[in-house]
Structure formats: C-alpha cells, structure tokens
Structure 1
C-alpha cells in the first residue's frame, strides 16, 4: 500500500483498557455491516469473553465479522471459545499457527503483532492494547500502561483496505478482496471528520521492512524543540540511537520513558546497557515504576506524534508485522504530551548519570559489543526465514451455521 498523508480526520487518544475496551465493544455492538479485528493476544479472560459476546451478537444479526489472531500470542483458546464464534458466524483465522515441541512454542519470529479494529469501514482503532485483562487497573501490580487511538475520517478507508488485503493475501485471494472492497468508499470520497492529518504506516517482511523506523528517524532528525518517546521494549538500531544523541547535542530536549518495573527482566537489562551512551549525550531517561509499561508512542515538537504496535527493539523493527498511525495535529500532540508529562512528573524515576557505576573493564567490553550489535543486527536478522504469512481458518462453517474446529493451534 502507498503510505501518504490523509487530511480531515478525527483522532482521539485512548489510555489503557478502561478507555479502550468500552469504546471498541460498543462499536462492535452497534456495527451495521462489518467488523474486522486483528490482535496479537486474545485471552479467554473477562475481556476476551466480553469481546466474544459482542462479536457473536453482531454476527447473529447479520454483520460480517472477521477475527485474526497470532499463533504465538494467542495459543491457548479453548475449543468451546473458538467453536462458539464459528457457530455464531464469526470467521476466525490464525496467523502462522505453530506446532509445539515438548510444550514449547517455536513460532517466535515474524509474528503478527498488529492491533487493528475496523468497524463498517468508518471507524478504526489502532494501538498497542491487546484483548486481555492485564490492560485493566484491577488486574493488579502487573496491569499494563498502554495507549491506542480511535480514528474517524478518510484514513479509515486506507486502514480498511489494508485489513481486507491482509485477509485476501493470507487466505481468500484477490476475487474475495475485490468483492469486499466494493462496499468500502475510496479514500478521496470519504467524508472529513476532523482536522488531523494522519498517515497509516506498517512494517512487513517484503516491501515495507523499515518504514516505521524511517518515520521515527525523519522526525527525530528534524526535531527543533522536544522529543518524548515512551516505549516498552527499547533496544533500537544504531541509526536511531545516533539520531537521538545528535538531537540532544544540538539542544533538543530529549526524554525517554522506559520500563522500570518490566514484565520481563531482560527488557530492563537490555535498555540499561544503552544508558551511558544516551545520558552522556544529554538524553533524559525516565523509568516508569508504577507498573509495566506497554506503550509504543512518541511526540516530536508540537504537531508530530505516533501511536501503534511497534516497539523499538529487534523484533518490532526487523521481524514482526506492525502498524502505527502518525498524526500531524497540534491538539492531539498537546493531549498526548500532557499524558506523557504526567507520567514523567508523577510516576517515573529520572535516571541520573551520577547514579550509574563508574566505567570498568567489563562495562567497556560490554559497551563495545552492544554498539556493534546495534549497528549490524538489521543485516543479521534478514537471514532468518521470511516465509509468506498465512492465515489458517480455525473453524469450518457448514451450510446450516454449524462449526467445527479445524486446528489446535
């Protein structure tokens, strides 16, 4: 797909499951023609069951409902859960289901990590929030801090076309794609809903291998006043680290919000290995300590911002299928900036370079290897298999609405 700026959009920031889930579930319940959901994780907890109920109700009243999940991220859905969707008429597909070896999932690389929802071709949700209860505050200390956006306007037509094309390429073929697309208005005919310019940017393993990273780099290199990046899994490539250091040295206020209470300890270990490089260049690092950070958002100056599924780590930048929106709008940037400033002021610990241990022989050796790993890993990961992504149907729907599970992924 061509990636272009699309004007006339309404963009609303949604923070955490408390804001995200009610909006999505209400949109599914009121859908008139079509619901398409892509998610990396769908768990059979209270959030997953609520989505199950909403999708089944929509399908029973004649709405076309398509659900796509990742084989690694959503491996444990029960037969009853899947067959219930199929019996209601929901089409369920899994991205690259993997066979287990001694109980271990082996399909780790090149995952479908996108989180996209499109309703009737007129409303879309894009972000980093999965359909699981750990995105709600009442989950406890391990509840995740995260963000998504609700979109309305011409950009939704582009996102709609993208998700239809993903189903067609993975499973259904071009004829199905053309028939479904007839019901979707072209981008240039979609009614304006707001003032924001938006670009929908994806990462795949064919034609768009580094598009999200390129947009980050372009924004950082042209920043004049401030950069704020909140990213859960931060271990970016050499070019991005260099761009951040150069921005700080030319007087841009650069703030990173990283995990202080990570869901996986190795996340903090990896990011902390970069602290000396960044702090000595003038970059400010804030560790979010209230609970695990799962957000993937950024803000540059007063108009450019991005929200999506892409982390700044090797998996997201070089392997996974990802999707972000980039927004040019002062009002949206101000709202996102306000929420990130709240995190930095009230829920983060600012890292002081004086607190870091003095350089040692081991730290020098480690720093050397980290530097060259960051410099060369994009070339190395290109050698990993680039299989064509396939969407496998999990249920067969019979002529009378019956369904049977066809895959145990």
Structure 2
C-alpha cells in the first residue's frame, strides 16, 4: 500500500498541545482498547510519564489486547530490565529499532533513527505528532519543559496509519503472512467516517519516500497566497525550501517562522540564526519562542492546509531519520492551529528585526552566512551517501539480559552509562 500521495476524506482531527492534553488522551485510549494497541516512539523514559504509559499498556495487554511497542535504540537507551520485563511478562511485544552498544560511554547509532511518534488503537483511533513519552513534556518539569503538539485522528485516515505501523513491524522480522493476518482485524473504512477533514499521512524513510515530507512542504509554500506560519524546533532546511520561503515572501505572502529562542541545545539557535539575514531581507518574519524550549513541528498555509508531526526541518529529519507527519486540509482545524500560533507569537515570542542583526553581523559573519546558505544546496546529496544499513528491529525479550547485567555492573563500578541492548 502506498501512502502520502492522496487525500483521504471523512476524518475528525483534534489538536493536542503539550503533555497536559496529549498524555491523558493517549493513556485513556490505550486503557479502552478492545483488540490492539501499537505505539512507536523515539524517546521513552522511565519517569512518571513513561511509567504511566507502562501501566496503560500492561492494563490493555492483561485484558487480552495485542500490544506492540517500538522504541528507538538511540532515543530510549536506558530502560531497566524490570521496566521491560514488566511489559513482556504480560504479553506486550517490545521491539527496539536498531539497538546498539556504547563505546567509551558514547552511543554510536546516531544516524537514520526511528524518530516517529505514532499510536494506533483498535485500528480506529490514532495519534501522530512530536511528543515523546517523557516528563519534560509537562509544564511542571520547569523552565526546560518543552512546547509541542500532536493530533488525535478518527476516520478513514486511521486505516492507512494502521497499515503503515503493521508493515513496519512486519518488515522488522514478522513477515508478510503476519502482516496479512493482523490486517484482517482492521475495521472497514466505511465504518470509520468520523468528520469532514481531508487528511494525508506522509512519511520519510531511506528507501521509497526519501523526501516526501519536504516535498509536501515545498508544494504548499509554492501554492500559498496569503499566509505561511511554520513553528519548528530544529530549523536548518535545504536550499530549495529556503528558496521557496523567500519567493513566497517576495510575492506578498505573510511568511512567519517560529523558532527556538531558549533552545535545549545552543547549536540549534546558532545554526538557524545563520539564515536570519537571508530570510529577513526577503521579507520573512522571524519569531523566537522564549518561554521554554520549542519542540514542535507544525505549519499552516493560507486557511486550509496544515501539518503536524515528528519531522523537524533540519538535516537529520529531512535526510536521515524515519519520520511521520499528518497533513490536513480543513478550514476549521487550520483556524484552531492559527489561533494557537498567533497567541504564541503575541505572548511568548520575540520578533527578530534586521536592526537586531546590525551589531552582530560583522563582515566575517556575513561571509560565513553566505557560505552556509549555499552549503544548503548540497547537504541533502552528501547525507544521502551515508551508509543505508538495514535497521534491526530486535525483540526486547530476545536480548541477552545476562550481558546487560554484566554491563550494568561494570557501569556501576565506573560511573558510566549502560548499553541499549535490552532497551
């Protein structure tokens, strides 16, 4: 089945902001599952949020639902044996995407990560977005709490998302026969009509869909006539996307970027700021979100097109990671997202003006910015040459726990970190 190439009508889509809205909705949906729960996430930490997911998955599995959890070996490296066995002992299938050992305390499996955040319950209800399962997505985490969004979906688009996550498990080792058997349990698309929104499920991988998300962004930017708002945590896109934004601003479109002002990693702001000169002088408005670290990946164009998902606009997301976005064509949803973005810009952002750059932009910085800007022409092709290893999807219960215990004991003696084999 192909995905990401056509609109699917008849959907209900609700925007969820931060962990306060997202986690209760997801955990309640999992607890209400009758047949099946599938979760994919980049980060799962063993904190109060991770333990909340753990409890909901156990409850669903104990009631007889088939429960599959896929985590990334780089993003979720330190889950304890007790955490994993608490799931597998009740029948939850825990799979690790590309687990890897550490070398001198460092994780080496950095590139081509499984960065998606997807939940599908009973083939009828889905969640897609940028929110991981960690306490730093809750406001009570403090100044470093992340600002982010996800969507809850009901309707025919869920069938496509369901097939996608089932196929991801099958490709990881279960095979085509398993995929067909599980797919038979999916409800009919006709039974799932739930609303009026058109939706498209768009993913990025390293085989057939290497640039689908970026391609949809660029097409929407080209088609925009009135308004473009992009809120993105890690902004360092390719040359073609930057060129489309500049062209849109020059033809009179109100183009606004919401970027990190209080980044979780300083290099993020440094990289994005290297593009400010080129964007501002083309008429693009830049807002830095200053309340907390921005982790969102959302955008809207004019009054109907919107997207929410896991994909940043940086080299990792656009050229290496496995990502998933939902693209929405619906005026009501667009209006909800616009109100959230407008409130963010008015209450929590600092607008960057060209005069703000005057004192910083020495001749050397201008030269450096020029070369960085033109570097963007080439980096997608360079990154594409990195090895395209076949990612391993390893059942957690099949990992060598004895070796893990040995490594954990060594870690206790040395103060180092534990490897990721059983995580």
- Could you state the TM-score of these two structures normalised by the residue count of structure 2? 0.93
Instruction: Find the counterpart in structure 2 of residue 401 from structure 1.
Output: none
Whole-Å separation in 1 of the counterparts to 2:178 and 2:311: 29
Instruction: Find the counterpart in structure 1 of residue 122 from structure 2.
Output: 120
**CA positional deviation for 1:65:** 0.3
Instruction: Find the counterpart in structure 2 of residue 294 from structure 1.
Output: 295
Q: Does residue 365 of structure 1 match 2:375? A: no
**CA positional deviation for 1:61:** 1.1
Query: Which ranges in structure 1 are unaligned for 5 or more consecutive residues?
Result: 398-403
Deviant stretches of 4+, over 2 Å: 357-361, 404-409
Whole-Å separation in 1 of the counterparts to 2:141 and 2:118: 23
Q: 2:111 aligns with which of 109, 112, 115?
A: 109
Mean CA deviation greater in 369-378 or 209-218: 369-378
Instruction: Find the counterpart in structure 2 of residue 143 from structure 1.
Output: 145
C-alpha root-mean-square deviation of aligned residues, in Å? 1.4
Whole-Å separation in 1 of the counterparts to 2:180 and 2:66: 16
**CA positional deviation for 1:407:** 3.7
Whole-Å separation in 1 of the counterparts to 2:392 and 2:368: 39
Whole-Å separation in 2 of the counterparts to 1:65 and 1:408: 18
Q: Does residue 246 of structure 1 match 2:236? A: no
Whole-Å separation in 1 of the counterparts to 2:422 and 2:150: 31
Instruction: Find the counterpart in structure 2 of residue 158 from structure 1.
Output: 160
Contact 2:3 2:201 in 1 (8 A): no
Contact 1:86 1:396 in 2 (8 A): no
Query: Which ranges in structure 2 are unaligned for 5 or more consecutive residues?
Result: 406-419
- What secondary structure, in the 3-state scheme, does the structure 1 residue paired with 2:102 have? coil
**CA positional deviation for 1:372:** 2.2
Instruction: Find the counterpart in structure 1 of residue 230 from structure 2.
Output: 229
The 5 Å alignment of 1:242-321 reads 242-321=243-322
Deviations 1:318-339 (A, max 9, x none): 0000000000000000000000
Deviations 1:328-362 (A, max 9, x none): 00000000000000000000000011110364331
Whole-Å separation in 2 of the counterparts to 1:191 and 1:149: 17
Deviations 1:149-204 (A, max 9, x none): 000000000000000000000121111101100111354x3431000000000000
- What secondary structure, in the 3-state scheme, does the structure 2 residue paired with 1:31 have? coil
Whole-Å separation in 1 of the counterparts to 2:210 and 2:30: 32
Whole-Å separation in 1 of the counterparts to 2:54 and 2:201: 27
- What secondary structure, in the 3-state scheme, does the structure 2 residue paired with 1:235 have? coil
Q: 2:185 aligns with which of 183, 186, 192?
A: 183
Distance 1:378 1:190, change over 3 A: farther
Whole-Å separation in 2 of the counterparts to 1:389 and 1:166: 11
Instruction: Find the counterpart in structure 2 of residue 15 from structure 1.
Output: 17
Whole-Å separation in 2 of the counterparts to 1:352 and 1:365: 20
How many residue pairs align between the two structures?
402
Whole-Å separation in 1 of the counterparts to 2:100 and 2:44: 16
The 5 Å alignment of 1:347-386 reads 347-357=348-358, 359-386=361-388
Instruction: Find the counterpart in structure 2 of residue 63 from structure 1.
Output: 65
